[in-house]
Amino acid sequence: MQTEEMRLDGNAAAGTLRQVFATDVTSALTTCTACGAVSPVGALLEYGHGMGIVLRCTGCSAVLLRVVRSPGWLRVDTSGIAVMAIPVGPIEPH
């Protein structure tokens, strides 16, 4: 399953993350609990697999976010994110 053109960053996880956060979070800034690095979600490293998504810190590779799909449930672990800053309001004209 990993053989195909799996994107390797948070941009690919955006669709699933929208089910969790009710908005696009690829521009949201995450602070890594482990090392303090700040990165937009779109730039985080994604390790996709059949069951869900793992997003890792570009600085220290710690897991920031885990989403696992199972029938009837979407399990979300954001314990690796110390702070998530989601932009509010029109930041860029559409």
Q: Is 52 in the site for other proteins (CB under 8 A)?
A: no
Site map 3..32 versus other proteins, x via CB under 8 A: xxxxxxxxxx-xx--xx-xxxxxxx-----
CB 17 within 8 A of CB 66: no
Contact call for residue 41 and other proteins (CB under 8 A)? yes
Residues 6+ apart with CB under 8 A from 58: 37, 39, 43, 44, 45
**CA separation for the pair 6, 3 (Å, rounded):** 7
Q: Is 70 in the site for other proteins (CB under 8 A)?
A: no
Q: Applying CB under 8 A, which residues contact other proteins?
A: 1, 3-12, 14-15, 18-19, 21-27, 40-43, 86-94
